[in-house]
Amino acid sequence: MKKYDFDEVLQRRNTSSVKWDFFNVNEGDTGEILALSIADMDLPCAEPILEALTNRVDKKIFGYSKPDETFYDSIISWHKRRFGFEIEREQMVNSPGVVPALATLVRMLTKEREGVIIQNPVYYPFSSLVVENNRELLVNELVNNDGYYTMDYEDLEEKAKDPNTKMFIFCSPHNPVGRVWTREELQRVIDICIENDVYLVSDEIHCDLVRENVKHTPIGSLTNHEKAITCLAASKSFNLAGLQMSTILLKTPELRKQWDYEHFSKSCMFGSGVFGIEGTKAAYNYGEDWLNQVNEYIDGNLAFVDSFLKEHLPEAIYIIPEGTYFTWIDLRAYGFNAKELEDMMVNKAKLILDEGYIFGKQGEGFERLNVACSRTILEECLIRMKNVILSSMK
């Protein structure tokens, strides 16, 4: 087994990185900026994936491509090994990404002005893909219990009962609050959706990124209901977002026929990138050791954040997340509004983070940090954060 060095600081500037090369800053030298935003890792990729992509480059031709059965077999095998989740081959369709797939599903399964539920604070494209497709956005706010979030089932049920409500876009594990929902919590969500004839679309893109002794439960392992739809990808687990490949599980031929019409015929999103195919296969077939090491390193980084905040910013509320590689830090006790906090981080601390307000008003005063980076970068980020907050209070 290869031992990976995740303390190595890899240079991502000038690589067309959205995270490191495209800043929206008001002033200052962007060379000083540290970026701990956007959901991709700054950690070296798994060697089996690099080898697979290199071998594909050696073929010297990159024409139109389509996944073969070995691609689907790799996904089926992975989810059976990791979660005991039996995926049926016929249910699988592909998309360049989970977010494009969610947009397709909204257009495919709902009509304009029909209701779609999300749970703020949540991954911000959820709201935009609902609103920009002219659907009614329904927010079932998560309940913040001193940093530990739970669901408001009464409000969820009330919104689901409305005949105009047709879909619930669910985040499992949850980004940004880091919950890995229990079987009991998931079953209650499933029951509410089934009883009210609401499509349950579960984004499970962070399913492999969980803490030691925490277990993710796929929605699809708890119900065979045709209106329960799962969105999967290797992109977060193995840092392959740039390869643009995801898989959606649709349980009936009718749904898959609708998908073909909306995704392919109307949107012309046909074909698959050859590197997405090869990268996904290599990840699921040979990347398990790497992923286990990544999760161990992320566990250490999240614990480091916890220790740092307790020592230097004790008024911050932070709970080590059960899943994802994000922190969700509540800084409201320090008295800055959302815009003040953003200005401090960007223009004084030279930090590009994900400001909490972008996840909904429930996130105002929070910071989401991506800790899938070297400990050195993470420590420097936290020092800058501490310095700017304490100096601004004087």
pLDDT digit string (tens) for 143-191?
A: 999 999 999 999 999 999 999 999 999 999 999 999 999 999 999 999 9
What is the pLDDT confidence band of residue 104, given thresholds at 50, 70 and 90?
Answer: very high
The tens digit of pLDDT for each residue in 6-38 reads 999 999 999 999 999 887 665 555 568 999 999
Lookup: tokens for 287: 């990347």
> What is the model's pLDDT at position 30?
58
Q: What is the chain's length?
A: 394
Alpha-carbon distance of 213 to 29, in angstroms, equals 43
Question: What's 272-297 look like in SS3?
Answer: ECHHHHHHHHHHHHHCHHHHHHHHHH
Is 23:8 a contact under the CB 8 Å cutoff?
no
* Domains of the chain as residue ranges with CATH: 18-46+288-392 (3.90.1150.10), 50-286 (3.40.640.10)
Lookup: tokens for 16: 């067309």
Alpha-carbon distance of 163 to 296, in angstroms, equals 45
Distances from the Cα of 111 to the Cα of 116, 123, 130, angstroms:
10, 23, 11
Please state the separation of Cα 135 from the chain's center in Å. Answer: 23
5-14, 53-62, 327-336: range with lowest mean pLDDT: 5-14
Find the mean pLDDT for residues 360-372.
Answer: 97
Q: Which has the closest alpha carbon to 178: 141, 216, 137, 219?
A: 216
pTM (predicted TM-score): 0.96
Alpha-carbon distance of 252 to 60, in angstroms, equals 39
φ, ψ at 352 (rounded to 5°) = -105, 105
Find the mean pLDDT for residues 383-388.
Answer: 98
What is the pLDDT confidence band of residue 267, given thresholds at 50, 70 and 90?
Answer: confident
Distances from the Cα of 338 to the Cα of 29, 137, 341, 349, 357, angstroms:
23, 23, 5, 15, 7
Alpha-carbon distance of 139 to 115, in angstroms, equals 10
Residue 234's contacts (CB-CB under 8 Å, 6 or more residues apart) are 240, 245, 279, 280, 283, 284
Neighbours of 114 (CB within 10 A): 17
Alpha-carbon distance of 210 to 225, in angstroms, equals 26
Find the mean pLDDT for residues 226-245.
Answer: 97
> ∠ at Cα 211 (209, 216), nearest 5°?
60
Neighbours of 287 (CB within 10 A): 26
Lookup: tokens for 350: 């030279």
Q: Which has the closest alpha carbon to 237: 293, 303, 191, 189?
A: 293
Find the mean pLDDT for residues 357-375.
Answer: 98
Please state the separation of Cα 150 from the chain's center in Å. Answer: 18
* The residue type at 284: Y
The more confidently predicted of residues 25 and 314 is: 314
Percent of the chain with pLDDT over 90: 92
DSSP 8-state class, residue 176 = T
What is the pLDDT confidence band of residue 336, given thresholds at 50, 70 and 90?
Answer: very high
> What is the model's pLDDT at position 133?
97
> What is the model's pLDDT at position 63?
94
pLDDT surpasses 80 at 89: yes
